[in-house]
Structure 1
Amino acid sequence: MATLSLRASEGLRRRVWIAPVILGYVASFVMLSWSLSLGMPVGIAYGVWSACGVALVAVIARFLFAERLTPMMAAGIGLIISGVLVIQLMGSVHA
């Protein structure tokens, strides 16, 4: 939500969006640190966090801001979802 708020702020020119940007990024780093403190490997935590962020922002921005979502981008999002699933499934098998 922080990245979408940053987009809505038009480069922080619309000041009403500054608080959601700051709070959203702080909250995301706090939650990432919680995941790491619970023992999740940093490579998996950061990989899933960033991949899911890219995919979700692209899809949501399509509807909120009418941004383009090409078939190639949709295929990339499908690969991201597949990759996250593989990481999750393989992580639980080898745990």
Structure 2
Amino acid sequence: MDSKLVAYAFLGLAIVSEVIGSTFLQKSEQFTKAIPTLILAVCYLAAFYFLSLALKAIPLGVAYGIWGSVGIALTAFVGYFVFNQKLDLAAIIGISLMISGVIVIQVFSKSVSH
């Protein structure tokens, strides 16, 4: 299997793990609830482990840009649907610009081998 494809799969797992961990960070109520705190710790450890595997084939800046922007977008999505946290137009535009930046990097940057 292509090492780049595997690296992006690991990056995807890292992002999903981090978003789940962040969701349980909210549910831990400042680390006062044991089970959500344990789940968030496991998810964050998994997220950094998967990110370390992704970095074998994806440059750090590119991986972190994808991690950050996709993670923010997914976390905002979870916040909206799970915690009823509304996003204003500026937040939606900002998140869209971050996603657009990742697309520009993936399509046009020579930092990423295709």
> How high is the TM-score relative to the length of structure 2?
0.75
- TM-fit CA distance, 1:90: 2.2
- TM-fit CA distance, 1:93: 9.0
CA contact (8 A) 1:5 1:21 kept: yes
CA contact (8 A) 1:59 1:69 kept: no
CA contact (8 A) 2:106 2:112 kept: no
**2:52 & 2:63 partners in 1: Cα distance?**
9
**2:111 & 2:29 partners in 1: Cα distance?**
44
Alignment correspondent of 1:68: 86
**2:112 & 2:55 partners in 1: Cα distance?**
18
Q: Deviations 1:33-79 (Å, cap 9, x if unpaired)? A: 01111x21111011111111111111211111111211111111111
Q: Which runs of no fewer than 5 residues in structure 2 stay unpaired?
A: 1-19
**1:42 & 1:16 partners in 2: Cα distance?**
32
Equivalent residue in structure 2 for 1:16, among 27, 30, 35 = 35
Q: For residue 14 of structure 1, what is the amino acid of its counterpart?
A: K
Q: List structure 1 segments (4+ residues) > 3 angstroms apart after TM superposition.
A: 91-94
Equivalent residue in structure 2 for 1:83, among 96, 101, 112 = 101
Equivalent residue in structure 2 for 1:59, among 67, 77, 100 = 77
Corresponding residue SS for 1:11: coil
> How high is the TM-score relative to the length of structure 1?
0.88
Q: In terms of mean alpha carbon deviation, does 21-30 or 83-92 score higher?
A: 83-92
- Structure number with the bigger relative contact order (C-alpha 8 A, sep ≥ 6) is 2
Q: Between Structure 1 and Structure 2, how many residues are aligned?
A: 94
Whether 1:42 aligns to 2:60 is yes
Alignment correspondent of 2:14: none
% same residue:
34
Q: Which runs of no fewer than 5 residues in structure 1 stay unpaired?
A: none
Corresponding residue SS for 1:67: coil
**2:26 & 2:45 partners in 1: Cα distance?**
17
